[in-house]
A and B are shown apart, each in its own frame.
Chain A
């Protein structure tokens, strides 16, 4: 990530200041201070708007049942036991287990399958390379709803796997377009010379990939792993299609909505559950901020 060299625009032209040292310099300094104040006030206001939803959700999550219905902003007493109640709800722990299974296994399979494909697309020269890239991007752009019906029919009728998460996990062993694209963009930035010198040293393609490229591409691999983990963790549509009939296969993202429906009056418990669904994502983010920001940047900026 670009180190935050903050203001790209110098606030005062230095030539100006040297010509008229006295009042001009003072004016420039006053302008700079006003600019600082203006920018930071706007930033603080916007930051408040972004953070307040979390604060309200948290405060409601520790209110009593009746207070959560009242529209009060601050809890009269702190009911930490709401969190315990959420965990004791039927199915909540299973949803965690399923989410971890889907996200964990899905991420592992995606990473393993995306690495060789991205490497070939970034570094091999072959006919149809451009076409292949266009197809990858097309898949990436395709709304999942377009192909879901025939896919569902295959998994349900041929493989009898509806009611499980396997129809979501298995395809990840065959390359995810978004991860392939992102990793390819990253691999493009690795100079050819590393690969050539590995070849001179007698490495085959597979050895070059595993011994040279993978260690160098760790930040890119971390980024696709994180994105895939979050994609699976947040996925609602997939579990709704395949796991809906079988509550034992629900994930956290899917179960949360039914949780609200079952506790139709308990906004406090719902908000506690909501925070518990968000928590892993926030924790992972704090440990892996850099990989994240790099990944997001890669999607938008040419490799």
Chain B
């Protein structure tokens, strides 16, 4: 024992040994591709001929000429703002609700949590069916109460809100996180607030809120980063709703309808793997990377629980 602990070189070697899987993984599957992405962003490369240096031409192309970049960036940012805001509000409301339930808490928790587990592709296919304007059960039910339902995934104005609904259906993870945070609020503080005559709102505002802000912050930041990579649901919804009989791998109308569901990650895919414009795809990747990193830095700065319990 004395030997292992007193010898610093050995200790360093031991640390390296334990960390080695991650060190290899980090270099090979993170650092290398990131550097290569920057490299390719300055190259003209169609994945057949040798890469050819073109300076900033890919960057210029993406920001000045690429017809779909504007809509894709707009959709992604729209989803980031609306989806994250609604998810946090709804997740917190469900968390509050579940902590107040006295009978059948287990049942309700499972019911609210289960949709989160549904594989995204399956959930999306199911939602496109449910919200199908002519034969879907949702508009059928709405018709029974005298409401003419919208065209949901087939209407450019309703496609993104439909995706938001799909995402709110899978709110289970946030609900559980908020529930745990809410149960951690010291009860004495509520009692003290009550003695001071605080109503429900004041209790929430002055007792609950201050103690859950780190978790809310965490939910916002991870939500933003997750929505920056929003891909599967948008792509599958667009493809299935368009009703075109096509196999995977071919996007006939990216972001059906009217590019309303086209996101930046989808554009990366179609540039890199369908148009074989590697340079432009890498520029788009780096735009995503820059936004995601900026948000992550913000998270580190705010120290919202992620790096806590360091010692």
Binding site for B on A (CB under 8 A): 1-2, 4-10, 13, 36, 39-40, 42-43, 46-47, 50-51, 53-54, 56-57, 60, 68-73, 113-114, 116-117, 119-121, 124, 126, 130, 132-139, 141-154, 171, 173-176, 180, 185, 188, 199-200, 202, 204-205, 230, 233-234, 236-237, 240-241, 244-245, 250, 252-254, 256-258, 260-262, 264, 267, 270-271, 274-275, 277-278, 281-282, 285, 289, 293, 296-297, 299-303
A120 and B176 in contact, given A7-B102, A141-B292 (Cβ under 8 angstroms): no
**Please, which residues of chain B bring their CB within 8 A of the CB of A241?**
269, 273
**Please, which residues of chain A bring their CB within 8 A of the CB of B108?**
43, 47
Task: Choose among B94, B119, B134 the residue that contacts A277 (Cβ–Cβ < 8 A).
Answer: B119
Closest to A9 in B: B190
A73 touches B203 (CB 8 A): no
A297 touches B177 (CB 8 A): yes
Cβ of B127 < 8 Å from any Cβ of A? yes
- Ranked nearest first, the 5 interchain pairs of A and B with the lowest CB-CB distance are A174-B25, A300-B177, A150-B36, A147-B33, A143-B229
Cβ of B310 < 8 Å from any Cβ of A? yes
B15 touches A124 (CB 8 A): yes
Closest to A241 in B: B273
Question: 14 new A-B pairs (CB below 8 Å) besides A6-B99, A53-B115, A145-B231?
Answer: A1-B180, A4-B106, A8-B182, A13-B194, A70-B135, A137-B296, A145-B264, A148-B33, A230-B117, A257-B239, A300-B180, A300-B219, A301-B184, A302-B214
Task: Choose among A13, A240, A302 the residue that contacts B249 (Cβ–Cβ < 8 A).
Answer: A240
A43 and B119 in contact, given A147-B37, A262-B245 (Cβ under 8 angstroms): no
A126 touches B114 (CB 8 A): no
What DSSP secondary structure best describes chain B's contact surface? Answer: helix
Please report the C-alpha to C-alpha distance between residue A278 and residue B122 in the assembled complex, in whole angstroms: 7
Chain B 45-65 near chain A by CB (<8 Å), digits 1 or 0? 001000000000000000000
A149 and B292 in contact, given A174-B28, A175-B22 (Cβ under 8 angstroms): no
B137 touches A71 (CB 8 A): yes
**Please, which residues of chain B bring their CB within 8 A of the CB of A1?**
180
B117 touches A282 (CB 8 A): yes
**Please, which residues of chain A bring their CB within 8 A of the CB of B190?**
8-10
Cβ of B302 < 8 Å from any Cβ of A? no
B292 touches A120 (CB 8 A): no
A175 and B25 in contact, given A39-B100, A149-B285, A296-B173 (Cβ under 8 angstroms): yes
The 6 listed contacts between A and B (C-beta, < 8 Å) are A13-B194, A145-B231, A148-B272, A202-B1, A236-B120, A236-B121
A146 touches B289 (CB 8 A): yes
A139 and B129 in contact, given A47-B108, A254-B248 (Cβ under 8 angstroms): no
Please report the C-alpha to C-alpha distance between residue A37 and residue B102 in the assembled complex, in whole angstroms: 10
B4 touches A204 (CB 8 A): yes
Closest to A112 in B: B21
Please report the C-alpha to C-alpha distance between residue A261 and residue B243 in the assembled complex, in whole angstroms: 8
Binding site for A on B (CB under 8 A): 1, 4-5, 11-12, 14-15, 17-19, 21-22, 24-26, 28-30, 32-34, 36-37, 40, 47, 94, 97-115, 117-122, 125-127, 129-130, 132, 134-137, 139-141, 169, 173, 176-178, 180-185, 187, 190-191, 194-195, 203, 214-215, 218-219, 222, 225, 228-229, 231-232, 235-236, 239-240, 243-249, 264-265, 268-269, 272-273, 278, 281-282, 285-286, 288-289, 292-293, 295-296, 299-300, 305-310
Please report the C-alpha to C-alpha distance between residue A71 and residue B98 in the assembled complex, in whole angstroms: 34
Q: How far is the CB of A1 from chain B (nearest CB, A)?
A: 8
Interface centre among B12, B25, B265, B309 (most CB of A within 10 A): B25
Please report the C-alpha to C-alpha distance between residue A58 and residue B40 in the assembled complex, in whole angstroms: 47
A40 touches B103 (CB 8 A): yes
**Please, which residues of chain B bring their CB within 8 A of the CB of A236?**
120-121, 231-232, 235-236
A146 touches B122 (CB 8 A): no
A142 touches B289 (CB 8 A): yes
**Please, which residues of chain A bring their CB within 8 A of the CB of B36?**
149-150, 153
Closest to B221 in A: A141
B117 touches A174 (CB 8 A): no
**Please, which residues of chain B bring their CB within 8 A of the CB of A73?**
137, 140-141
Closest to B128 in A: A260
